[in-house]
Amino acid sequence: MRVYPTCPRFPGAILHALVVSALLAVPGAGVGAAALSAQDSGWNSSRVLGLVEGARDRRAVTAVDSTFQSYKADARGFVYFFIDRPDSDERTLVKADQVALEVYWKAPDKTRQRIVGLRDRKVLPTNIRYHLDHLTVVQDDFGDWIRMGDGDEVERVLHPAGPDSNLMYDYLLADSLTLRYGGAGDEVRVYEVRVRPKTPELPGFVGSMFLDRDRSAIVRMNFTFTPASYVDPYLDYIRVSLDNSLWDGRFWLPYRQEAEIRREMPNLDFLAGSIIRGRFEIRGYEFNLPLGDPFFLTRVSTVSQANRQAFPFERGLLDDLDEEGLAPSESLKDIQVQAREIVAGRALSGLPGTRFTAGTFSDWLRYNRVEDLFVGVGAQVRTGRVGLLQGTGGYSFGRKALSGALEFAPGEHPAPGSVRLFWDEIRDRGAVPGSTLLENSFEAGIGEMDYLDPWFARGVSLRARPFDAATGPTFTLGVERHRSAVDVVDGRLRPVALIEEGVMSSLGVSVPFRSAHTHGDVALTASRFRSRALLAATGGWSWETTPHRAGQAATVDVLGGAVFGDAPVQSHYYLGGRSTLPGIPYRSMVGTAFGLIATSGTVPIRAPWVGVRALASVGVVGGGDAPPVPRPSDPFVDQQEAASDPKLSDPDDTVTARATAGLGVSLFWDVLRIDRLRGIGPEGSWEWVVSISPRFMRWF
């Protein structure tokens, strides 16, 4: 596999792209384990060293087999460039490529690949470009030395079945099992041999080889590398899965391959990383064709651009993505889990252990009416054996006070849990934020509107994710003190509403779900505020027709929740205005239960620059017994009076429903949106809403 990075840049020069050459997918496996004897179960047992020696000999014999002189095969692949957030399972496609190859080999070691089909689509702006050799497959399990990116990413790592590899690596006979391979579901009995470098501080292979029990041939390799293997300082990790299949009853040759390379900025943990992932399948082998030596003078070639684009692909450009999504395959997940077990807690990331950090832009800089100007900074220290220690903090010039948080997550990312301490963390009322902190800073800074109803929290929380971090449940336990915020600016914005102060302890569980077109989560939280018991249930579900296609699109978002018990005002739900029901007075609907359905459709006018949007939303609240949030037009009132005067309370327990609809435009790959909506009903009005795509909302 060859990787030739051109160091492309994402908008704002934040993300650096990865470029990968041979990338493949993995066949399913059925396991029928056989018991291993005690003398075979330790590292570097005589049995496992004999198996590795057999694999080394088998690789040498294949190259001089007189009955195996050459082959030709066809390969088809998909390559995806996307961005992800390391603290969630969010992934956003940037570019997709589809590749068709002709693959040739001649004994003993001559190879050639020809790109006969190539097409791509950009979903977001990027200047990433692939060299020809980026889109090739691995024909020889990397040879004796693994080299990626022409030495720019991995320069020289000894193959675990290379010459004298037993001097470099330790081996463990982990299992005896049965793997399925090939389109017909053929099976082969294999030994799984785990591999680790004797000196983890040096460049090395970390993973597993699966060896055919009858022939000692390599059937599969799943692996990553030690941090010292990475030449490029932007590399977080490289994970590779190579599968071979038995052809002509004798030859183990490439069948499926998959690889993933992830990058982040080396000195700053900020927002997201960039990933290149690809899957290739190799089929249609023809053996012992008359191929002359001059044919192999060129290692990688390509047909004309017109012929590449006209190639009759059997599948659509985005068909694989529609079926598989952007989530890593089970093989790639297994590589991460298994590698952590093999190296016993050592860090496997190529990124520096100490970096600056920020979860959002507003962690560094923001403005609102309860903090005035806030300036912050963050840093993290990560070690493989101990874990991640991360701190963020800043100073509010209006409050003249510090706030911040300190979080510790044991073990390597993703950690099974974490503990977090926080001091005067800014919060907003309701289940749906009125705005991101950064968007709100612009609005409040120009004196238009502060969309937050802020308050502060101090406390500690524990989070546990004992299962899959992306799809398994998350359990939380917390104790925190809620404190009201005070207006520290000149009073030109709407008044700050007080909350009910006190200590809240809580125990909760949330479960995410995701498919190719939908995602969401459900959560249940039991709390005790002061001496009152509370139970809250919330959930969200989002559906999008084709989130990765640059064309017509439709979305449906459903949110709902209810809190039972004598809930404090900060635990109520607020609808109306921006982010929920534009055109309805801002947060005029208050209750202890709510439901919100928002739909939108986009038709491109001049893709990807301009599209026309249609929007509609319906919201309902019930159990409204909380003091309403002061409106922008309300006169400034004393905050203690606002919290206690019964005339300012709304004891109505009836259900209130409102709706809104409108049109808008989407600009620049649907990153920026400008909408004009009207609330339906006597209190409805027209409202302009300028916002960013929800795909990037967490960045701000």
Taking residues 161-187, report their average pLDDT. Answer: 82
The backbone torsions φ and ψ at residue 561, rounded to the nearest 5 degrees and listed phi first, read -175, 165
Distances (CA, A) of 433 to 427, 428, 430, 448, 574: 9, 7, 7, 18, 9
- 374-387, pLDDT tens digit by residue? 999 999 998 767 78
Q: Is the pLDDT of residue 298 over 50?
A: yes
Q: Are 520 and 541 in contact (CB under 8 A)?
A: yes
- 348-360, pLDDT tens digit by residue? 889 998 999 887 8
Instruction: Report which secondary-structure segment, H or E, holds 644.
Output: helix 639-644
Q: Which amino acid makes up residue 659? A: A
Q: Which two tokens stand for residue 46?
A: 């005589």
204-218, 293-307, 337-351, 600-614: lowest mean pLDDT where?
Answer: 337-351
pLDDT at 139: 87
Q: Which amino acid makes up residue 679? A: G
How many CA atoms does the CB half-sphere of 59 hold within 13 Å?
20
Q: Is the pLDDT of residue 210 over 80?
A: yes
Distance CA 324, CA 643 (A): 52
Q: Which two tokens stand for residue 211?
A: 């060896």
pLDDT at 645: 37
443-447, 499-503, 587-591, 638-642: lowest mean pLDDT where?
Answer: 638-642
Q: How confident is the model at residue 5 (pLDDT cuts 50, 70, 90)?
A: very low
Q: Which amino acid makes up residue 627? A: P
Show Cβ contacts of residue 606 under 8 Å, excluding neighbours closer than 6 positions.
none
pLDDT at 198: 93
408, 412, 413, 418 alpha-carbon torsion, rounded to 10°: -30
Q: Is the pLDDT of residue 4 over 50?
A: no
Q: Is the pLDDT of residue 561 over 90?
A: yes
pLDDT at 431: 83
Q: Is the pLDDT of residue 22 over 50?
A: no
Distance CA 283, CA 645 (A): 77
Show Cβ contacts of residue 55 under 8 Å, excluding neighbours closer than 6 positions.
161, 209, 211, 216, 217, 218
pTM above the 0.85 mark?
no
| Residue that wins the pLDDT comparison between 22 and 381 | 381
Average pLDDT over the chain, rounded to an integer: 83
Distance CA 179, CA 188 (A): 5
Taking residues 190-206, report their average pLDDT. Answer: 93
Q: Which two tokens stand for residue 361?
A: 């832009």
Q: How confident is the model at residue 646 (pLDDT cuts 50, 70, 90)?
A: very low
Distance CA 94, CA 16 (A): 12
pLDDT at 585: 92
Q: Is the pLDDT of residue 184 over 60?
A: no
- Picking from 100, 537, 65, 134, the residue whose alpha carbon sits closest to that of residue 281 is 100
Domains and CATH numbers, the chain: 11-342 (no CATH), 354-699 (2.40.160.50)
Distance CA 439, CA 64 (A): 66
SS (H, E, C) 343-408: CCCCCCCCCCCEEEEECCHHHCEEEECCCEEEEEEEEEEEECCCEEEEEEEEEECCCCEEEEEEEE
Q: Which amino acid makes up residue 141? A: D
Q: Is the pLDDT of residue 15 over 70?
A: no
Taking residues 628-647, report their average pLDDT. Answer: 39
461, 465, 471, 477 alpha-carbon torsion, rounded to 10°: -30
- 412-449, pLDDT tens digit by residue? 666 788 999 999 999 998 888 888 888 888 888 877 78
Q: Which two tokens stand for residue 497?
A: 């509403």
The b/e string for 208-230 (b: 16+ C-beta within 10 A; e otherwise) is bbbbbbebbbbbbbbbbbbbebb
Q: Give percent above pLDDT 70 in the chain.
A: 85
Q: Which two tokens stand for residue 690?
A: 């300028």
Taking residues 92-97, report their average pLDDT. Answer: 89
Q: Which two tokens stand for residue 608?
A: 């990807």
pLDDT at 322: 76
Angle at 243 between CA 240 and CA 249, to 5 degrees: 160
Q: How confident is the model at residue 637 (pLDDT cuts 50, 70, 90)?
A: very low
Angle at 317 between CA 311 and CA 318, to 5 degrees: 170
Q: Is the pLDDT of residue 642 over 50?
A: no
- 220-264, pLDDT tens digit by residue? 999 999 999 999 999 999 999 999 988 877 788 999 999 999 999
Q: Is the pLDDT of residue 628 over 50?
A: no
Q: Are 118 and 308 in contact (CB under 8 A)?
A: yes
Q: Is 522 exposed, middle or buried (0-12, 13-18, 19+ CB in 10 A)?
A: middle
Q: Which amino acid makes up residue 197? A: P
Q: Is the pLDDT of residue 150 over 70?
A: yes
Provide the 8-state DSSP code for 549. -
- 372-422, pLDDT tens digit by residue? 999 999 999 987 677 889 999 999 999 999 999 999 988 766 678 899 999
Q: Are 457 and 429 in contact (CB under 8 A)?
A: no
How many CA atoms does the CB half-sphere of 404 hold within 13 Å?
17
Q: How confident is the model at residue 131 (pLDDT cuts 50, 70, 90)?
A: low
Angle at 531 between CA 511 and CA 524, to 5 degrees: 10
pLDDT at 130: 73
